[in-house]
Structure 1
């Protein structure tokens, strides 16, 4: 039953009715039941079935928010713990990416790197093997723009609409459903899945065609890396120069230096908390994507190149699993001082 038919029936109920041998109430009741059943059918048809593949630090929270929003959810992950956790909350487990794709209207991935997305999307038992015309593929991973375009082209040959939709906001944004989502791909597909994305994020921006979402995320990571390094440098600079770093932060928060990083990260560092909201090795990986893409187009990125060296130094120093703000540890080592001294 179409929405238009439902509205016509609903309209007929509200019109004046001629009494037919005491049957007007029964007729009205019958019409109301038809309307109610039809409307429920319409609402059910609107509620897309979603698959989510990749239940890591952020992916699990994002999938949970989709489930909380009322969407039927199918999940798959290499490790079973996250699958079992979400299954206990109402999600349906699937044996493989192809099994997920075969059951849903929209399949979403959130994976570590470009090769992982290629394997899950195009490999053996991958999404492509379970795909059908009309399926929408949304990738929340941060990968190379060229990979996003290649995957979109190959899945497109099977009638799948593809959106590269990387996110920003860290684990807190994933938990709270307040992520920023940058989308590349057909606008019609975006509008179809917008209610699903709104369960995960507060700001959803269509940037352009396939790959454009990944370009926006790469640009975002240039700024994030710069802020993390700058924060580490200013805190170490203040400490070794003889000022109280906490007071310095308070002094500059109201000026031109004010930003999310300055508002959120210092207190964690002052408390000695370097637990990951966004892991250092992921920041290094993202900067690698930035620099690879920049080389492809002949773009000199001087500061990003230096920041990449600092994050790679974190990996060499055994800090790959720490928060990206823990890059201050590299600055501390270079300055031969620690933030928490004294």
Structure 2
């Protein structure tokens, strides 16, 4: 596959690393669109459904790098991203010249720049393309995708991104996708406090929370979290669409980035403090809507 050409199904082998709550659905959509997909994840069991659908399992990142010409990563933490890309057994040391990398993990902007520069030196191409939309957005292929990197590389890879998302926006040079995702997480953090408080208030005041939700979700209070996560709060469904532990990671990155710019983020810091408390109570693997539990006492 040559730079500036559209990605062709016949010539593209997509390597997908990280098949968790969201990654599994994202990889499945690519597979369903006719691409050859090879997968690697630390826990092979997590890739079982994809293999049954026709994906090919690889035992190591190195094995995947040798075969794929487009690699999408959706792992947990920045240190996982660094290991997958920068390690001696990682992608950059073992992929072919001309390989395209799309890191969809929410990670550190400076790491995205580091990977971009290292890839460029080796004749490879890199985009940072974190997503928003949770398990539902991934499952329904309507994620918001925020992209940093070279614009011509973005245009080349756009057909693959369009398989996974609906709102796909090029934000600027390397790291811009990650900075945009920080804006997203900052907006969500304080909003989640408000959504949780509203639902607990509805319950404690003797109202029917479902009826309350019908009234407020389409008015000025409306938000993605109110429409998608408040119903889960009401029914006691705290399964992860997005893990609390990963949200804490994201908020930590955003706080550090803001401090580096001389910016205060009091709402974000309050939200992180509350989620840290939830994690200490053993809720780190629950969904972010479990903030409701902290207030419903």
What TM-score, normalized by structure 1, do the two folds share? 0.81
Would the aligned equivalents of 2:7 and 2:157 in 1 still touch at CA under 8 Å? no
Return 5+ residue gaps in structure 1 as ranges. Answer: 1-41, 338-342
Residue 279 of structure 2 is aligned to residue 315 of structure 1: yes
Displacement of 1:253: 2.5
Question: Any idea what the Cα deviations from partners look like across 1:61-84, whole Å, max 9, x if unmatched?
Answer: 111111001111111111111333
Return 5+ residue gaps in structure 2 as ranges. Answer: 1-5
Displacement of 1:252: 2.1
| Alignment correspondent of 1:253 | 217
Counterpart-to-counterpart distance in 1, 2:8 and 2:272: 48
For 2:88, which of 124, 145, 149 is the aligned residue?
124
**Larger relative contact order (CA 8 Å, sep ≥ 6):** 2
| Alignment correspondent of 2:111 | 147
| Alignment correspondent of 2:38 | 74
| Alignment correspondent of 2:99 | 135
| Alignment correspondent of 1:221 | 185
Would the aligned equivalents of 1:97 and 1:121 in 2 still touch at CA under 8 Å? no
Displacement of 1:87: 2.1
Displacement of 1:208: 0.5
Displacement of 1:45: 7.1
Residue 149 of structure 2 is aligned to residue 185 of structure 1: yes
| Alignment correspondent of 1:101 | 65
Residue 134 of structure 2 is aligned to residue 170 of structure 1: yes
Which protein shows a greater Rg? Answer: 1
C-alpha RMSD over aligned residues? 1.8
Residue 255 of structure 2 is aligned to residue 325 of structure 1: no
Counterpart-to-counterpart distance in 2, 1:208 and 1:298: 22
Would the aligned equivalents of 1:98 and 1:128 in 2 still touch at CA under 8 Å? no
Displacement of 1:190: 1.1
Counterpart-to-counterpart distance in 2, 1:81 and 1:243: 44
Question: Any idea what the Cα deviations from partners look like across 1:29-70, whole Å, max 9, x if unmatched?
Answer: xxxxxxxxxxxxx99676421110111111111111110011
Counterpart-to-counterpart distance in 2, 1:119 and 1:107: 15
Aligned length: 292
